[in-house]
């Protein structure tokens, strides 16, 4: 099965496979949302079923919760867990200071809450997500439905004073209807091209009435695991400024790859 994967999917898989080595018996683990995180959940499920790993997972979306239950991971709420040992999630972009853009899958609010309630956050990614400056990927901003057009206008007006190249924004759609998050909110995607000061932008966005949260994750990520299409992985840790490299061999597993349609 792995022979049929594209280089990008192989890179996502090896990053996810490497990340579960950091999960220990008895941990409470935040389970991210997205295509790379789905690989991780599958890998964790395999460890639970075949190696007897005992963990409790706190998912960041309804679809991650469904996948976790499907592969045999015990799912609990964040209120039940109260605090997490580790969160593993993907990212749409990351820079050299481990600042992230997340929310391409629409789960940024739960993802940020879970990540900040963890002792450690590990981001898993293929190398294509690494950028010098954030902003090529549209920045998601979650807003409540009431007055969303006013919130959108206020965001666009605020962008005039920010260090960004683009200033356009669009309401995320699901077919012909607005997209709704798990919390019943809308998402406005900001097309900024380049974000010169992510920290400032994140703070100012959250001061706008109607804005619930934004997809800039600042000072949250501790470790980035970067996968490559040839099976190489780099583990980069911001706390000790270290980079470790490994190479994983691909082993076909019907249980792992069956029905994975990310």
**17 annotated as a binding-site residue:** no
**105 annotated as a binding-site residue:** yes
**85 annotated as a binding-site residue:** no
The CA distances from residue 98 to 15, 70, 129, 134, in Å, are 16, 32, 11, 10
The residue from 111, 132, 183, 249 that is catalytic is 111
DSSP E strands, the chain: 28-31, 56-59, 74-75, 86-89, 93-94, 100-101, 121-126, 139-143, 168-171, 173-174, 177-178, 186-191, 211-214, 216-217, 223-227, 232-237, 242-247
**90 annotated as a binding-site residue:** yes
Residue 155: name the closest of 105, 212, 220 by CA.
212
How many other CB atoms sit within 10 Å of the CB of residue 51?
9
**60 annotated as a binding-site residue:** no
Active site residue 111: yes
Tokens of 66: 């469904």
**103 annotated as a binding-site residue:** yes
Q: Do the strands 100-101 and 121-126 form a parallel or antiparallel pair, or are they unpaired?
A: unpaired
Q: Do 3 and 253 meet the contact criterion of CB atoms below 8 Å apart?
A: no
**231 annotated as a binding-site residue:** no
**91 annotated as a binding-site residue:** yes
Q: Do 31 and 41 meet the contact criterion of CB atoms below 8 Å apart?
A: yes
**87 annotated as a binding-site residue:** no
**89 annotated as a binding-site residue:** yes
Phi-psi region of 38 (alpha: psi -120 to 50; beta: other; left: phi over 0): alpha
Binding site for substrate: which residues?
A: 33-36, 89-92, 102-105, 129
Binding site: which residues?
A: 33-36, 89-92, 102-105, 129
**Residues catalogued as catalytic:** 111
């Amino acid at each position: 099965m792995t022979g049929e994967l594209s280089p990008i999917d192989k890179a996502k898989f090896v990053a996810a496979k490497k990340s579960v080595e950091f999960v220990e018996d008895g941990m409470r683990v935040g389970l991210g949302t997205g295509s790379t995180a789905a690989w991780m959940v599958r890998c964790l499920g395999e460890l639970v079923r075949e190696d007897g790993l005992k963990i409790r997972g706190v998912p960041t979306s309804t679809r991650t919760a469904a996948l976790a239950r499907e592969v045999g991971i015990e799912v609990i709420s964040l209120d039940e867990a109260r605090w997490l040992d580790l969160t593993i999630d993907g990212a749409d972009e990351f820079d050299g200071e481990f600042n992230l853009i997340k929310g391409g899958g629409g789960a940024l609010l739960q993802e940020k809450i879970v990540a900040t309630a963890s002792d450690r956050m590990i981001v898993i990614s293929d190398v294509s997500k690494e950028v010098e400056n954030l902003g090529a990927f549209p920045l998601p901003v979650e807003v409540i439905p009431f007055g969303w057009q006013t919130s959108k206008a206020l965001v666009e007006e605020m962008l005039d004073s920010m260090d960004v190249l683009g200033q356009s924004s669009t309401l995320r759609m699901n077919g012909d209807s607005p997209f709704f998050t798990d919390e019943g909110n809308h998402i406005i995607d900001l097309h900024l091209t380049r974000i010169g000061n992510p920290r400032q932008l994140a703070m100012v966005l959250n001061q706008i009435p109607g804005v619930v949260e934004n997809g800039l994750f600042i000072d949250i990520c501790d470790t980035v695991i970067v996968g490559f299409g040839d099976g190489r992985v780099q583990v980069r840790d911001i706390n000790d400024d270290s980079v470790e490299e490994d190479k994983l061999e691909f082993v076909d597993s019907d249980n792992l790859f069956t029905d994975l349609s990310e």
